[in-house]
Amino acid sequence: MTERNNWEQSVEKTIKRFPERKETFTTSSNIKVDKLYANENTDKYEEKLGYPGSYPYTRGIQPTMYRSRFWTMRQYAGFGSALETNKRFRYLLEQGQTGLSVAFDLPTQIGYDSDDAMAEGEVGKVGVAIDTLHDMEQLLDQIPLDKVSTSMTINAPASVLLCMYIAVGEKQGVSLDKLTGTIQNDILKEYIARGTYIFPPKPSMRLITNIFEFCQLHVPKFNTISISGYHIREAGSTAVQEVAFTIANGMAYVDAALKAGLDIDAFAPRLAFFFNAHNHFFEEVAKFRAARRIWAKIMKEHYKAKDAKSWKMRFHTQTGGSTLTAQQPDNNIVRVTLQALAAVMGGTQSLHTNSRDEALSLPTEDSARIALRTQQIIAHESGVADTIDPFAGSFYVEELTDKIEDEVYKYIDRVNELGGAVKAIEEGFMQREIQHNAYETQKRIEKEDEIIVGLNKFKLDEEVNPDLLKVDEALEQAQKKSVKMTRENRNQEKVNMALINLKKQAKKEDVNLIPYILDAVKQYATIGEICNVLRDEFGEFTGI
């Protein structure tokens, strides 16, 4: 029973830092709820399940899980101007949200200024428009960056936005080692599923490893990547494909960083993951548990990482946008509740719950509040967070966990046979697999082999049109003016110098570009100017 003793010791240590939420946990009938229920006599208990906070982490990555602290409730938000989004952020923080998550508009995500011809019609639509440091200053106004952690959904130009964040931190007087947050920075899934790529794979992988290295030295608490299965699932994959392709991509990042000469235990602890939660409740719970176990094994046995922190898969979860229906949108609240519950039962570190109206537009403030309340009800009222990994030992869930693990390894083997994730993506392998499943799903729904309540069964004659959030059409013009003003008011000579310098350094493959991007950002160079320099040097990815 030494493993159990180890766990008990680590619980004691953890509780000193993060005391449990209550002195005792009980049910309504005054039955005491223990931290952990385990039957160590079951076959291969320690090999397959182990203890929370210890290898292979099937039961969670922290010794006390939600007994000490709930997951971070992190709602993804952003629309229109930086000013408007700043208001929504401060509202969400007042409402008890514990972390920020920034949605950027598509021109920002693809490295175009708001007044670029390519940006037409897209400015401020799916997120906030950020052209220069000036916008970032407005976005984060009065938000203390040493206290609030910020997740940024930004990939191809992740380095630029990270540098803007660092620059705002410096202006607030927050030292770099105090900044916490995450950049998505996962380009491979952009090629597979999400589409906001700029450069070809090779220079993109260079920028990513540059970020790993820079952050390890200067911004050690920042998660340098969020390896995302979310969008793979949204594009139509199965749960198994979601985990398999995400882990295959994760291995490609690890390989690239090792090749660049980084030490595995120096960067691996800062790798984070991002998964989806769909409606098949038990499969989703099993999926999260299997994913943790697989990653731990790969990091320990394949990559020989020594630091236990390198073995732990920390992940964010978002409920499944593609499962929501435009019909009878209030039904989506129920779907989100089920999915959020699965994420919590799967041991997520943070969670975004979708709003009921997301199949129709960006969420209104009312809808966003209900989505946050859904998490708060699960946390505070349901009692599901009072014991760790409550589905462990269920014959069904354990069997599903094992099966998902087996199927994931089969896919990873196929990807490896093709020469790894980058090659598999270039050959369109993952895209085809996902596309096939997306089409089969659509056919099942049209044949009513798969029932979607309100869509192909239990329909209403008359759909009620809910109030939707409108992004003001005048915003695009205002943002265009604003970026023009910033360009006029900066020291153009310094901007030119910074950009020329960046161009020079980009030619040299072994130079870390982050300090040069940071320099350009601080001179109020625009995201488009910086990305255009890199486009000239790196070329553009034009699809497969």
Partner 1 sequence: MGKIRVLIAKPGLDGHDRGALVIAQALRDHGMEVIYTGLRQSPIQIAQAAIQEDVDVIGLSSLSGAHRTLFPKVIEALQERNAGDIPVVAGGVIPSEDIPYLIEKGINKIFTSGSSTEALANYIKQLINPEHSKLEQPNKIAHIGIAVHSIDQAISFYTDTLGLELEGVEAVKSEGVKVAFLKIGESRFELLEPLDDTSTIQKFLDKKGEGIHHIALEVDNVEERLQKYKQAGIKLINEEAKSGAHNSQIAFIHPKAANGVLLELCQHTEGSDL
> Residue 456 Cβ, how far from partner 1 at the closest point, in Å?
8
Contact 325, 331 (CB under 8 A): yes
Does 279 help bind partner 1 (rule: CB under 8 A)?
no
Of positions 73, 119, 163, 415, contacts partner 1 by CB under 8 A:
119
470 Rama class: left (phi>0) / alpha (psi -120 to 50) / beta: beta
Angle at 445 between CA 444 and CA 448, to 5 degrees: 85
Closer to partner 1 by CB, 173 or 543: give it. Answer: 543
196 is an interface residue for partner 1 by CB under 8 A: yes
For 211-244, give the secondary structure using H, E and C: HHHHHHHHCCCEECEEEECHHHHHCCCCHHHHHH
Structure tokens at 8: 């008990």
Q: Contact between 464 and partner 1 (CB under 8 A)?
A: no
CA-to-CA distance for 105 and 125, rounded, in angstroms? 6
Distance CA(342)–CA(253), nearest Å, equals 28
Q: In whole angstroms, how far apart are CA 97 and each of 75, 150, 196, 278, 441?
A: 8, 12, 28, 23, 35
Exactly one of 457, 465, 507, 510 binds partner 1 (CB under 8 A); that residue is 465
Residue 200 interacts with partner 1 (CB under 8 A): yes or no = no
Nearer Cβ to partner 1, position 351 or 360? 360
Structure tokens at 325: 């229906």
Question: Is residue 485 at the binding interface for partner 1, with CB under 8 A as the rule?
Answer: no
Nearer to partner 1, 195 or 390 (CB): 195
Is residue 115 close enough to count as binding partner 1 by CB under 8 A? no
Instruction: Establish if 329 lies at the interface with partner 1 (CB under 8 A).
Output: no
* # residues contacting partner 1 (CB under 8 A): 42
Nearer to partner 1, 95 or 456 (CB): 456
* Of residues 12 and 120, the one with the C-beta less far from partner 1: 120
Q: Which CB atom, from 47 or from 120, has the smaller least distance to partner 1?
A: 120
Q: In terms of Cα–Cα distance, which of 18, 50, 22, 16 is closest to 36?
A: 50
75 binds partner 1 (CB under 8 A): no
**Least separation in angstroms between CB 326 and partner 1:** 4
Nearer of residues 384 and 468 to partner 1, judged by Cβ:
468
d(CA 167, CA 174): 10
CB of 371 to partner 1, least distance (A): 18
181 binds partner 1 (CB under 8 A): no
Tokens 């931190």 belong to 169
Q: Which of 194, 270, 335, 487 binds partner 1 (CB under 8 A)?
A: 194
Decide: is 471 part of the binding site for partner 1 (CB under 8 A). yes
Within residues 490-529, the interface with partner 1 by CB under 8 A covers: none
- What 3-state class would DSSP assign to 392? coil
Per CB under 8 A, the segment of 24-32, 375-383, 432-440, 498-506 that binds partner 1 is: 432-440
In sign, the C-alpha dihedral spanning 124, 130, 132, 136 is positive
CA atoms within 13 A on the CB side of 489: 9
> Could you tell me how many helices (H) and strands (E) the chain has, helices first?
22, 10
- The answer to whether residue 106 forms part of the interface with partner 1 (CB under 8 A) is yes
- DSSP-derived 3-state class of residue 516: helix
Per rule CB under 8 A, is residue 360 in the interface with partner 1?
A: yes
Indicate if the alpha-carbon torsion angle 115, 117, 118, 124 is positive or negative: positive
Secondary structure (H, E, C), 323-334:
HCCCCCCCHHHH
Query: Interface with partner 1 includes 414 (CB under 8 A)?
Result: no
Q: Is 325 in the site for partner 1 (CB under 8 A)?
A: yes
The CA distance from 410 to 416, in Å, is 10
Closest approach of Cβ 476 to partner 1, in Å?
Answer: 8
121 part of the interface to partner 1, by CB under 8 A: yes
Q: How far is the CB of 486 from partner 1 (least distance, A)?
A: 22
- DSSP-assigned states of every residue in 284-340: HHHHHHHHHHHHHHIIIIIS---SHHHH---EEEEE-GGG--SSSTTHHHHHHHHHH
Cα separation, 304 vs 301, in Å, equals 5
Stretch binding partner 1 (CB under 8 A), from 28-36, 86-94, 187-195, 276-284: 187-195
Using CB under 8 A as the binding rule, the residues of this chain from 434 to 463 that contact partner 1 are: 435, 438-439, 442, 446, 455, 461, 463
Burial label for 192, CB within 10 Å (0-12, 13-18, 19+), is buried
Which residue in 40, 120, 472, 536 binds partner 1 (CB under 8 A)?
Answer: 120
Q: Taking contact as CB under 8 A, which single stretch among the options 194-202, 296-304, 368-376, 402-410 is the one that binds partner 1?
A: 194-202
362, 475, 502, 527: which one binds partner 1 (CB under 8 A): 362
Query: Does residue 236 touch partner 1 according to CB under 8 A?
Result: yes
- Decide if residue 359 touches partner 1 (CB under 8 A): yes
CB 312 within 8 A of CB 355: no
Applying CB under 8 A, which of residues 33, 126, 176, 497 lies at the interface with partner 1?
126
Residues, the chain, total?
544
Q: Name the minimum Å distance from CB 324 to partner 1.
A: 9
21 vs 444 by CB, closer to partner 1: 444
425 makes contact with partner 1 (CB under 8 A): no
For residue 15, give the DSSP letter.
H
Stretch that binds partner 1, among 32-40, 56-64, 467-475, 515-523 (CB under 8 A): 467-475
Q: Which residues bind partner 1 (CB under 8 A)?
A: 106-107, 109-110, 112, 117-122, 125-126, 190, 194-196, 234-236, 322, 325-327, 359-362, 435, 438-439, 442, 446, 455, 461, 463, 465, 468, 471, 473, 542-543
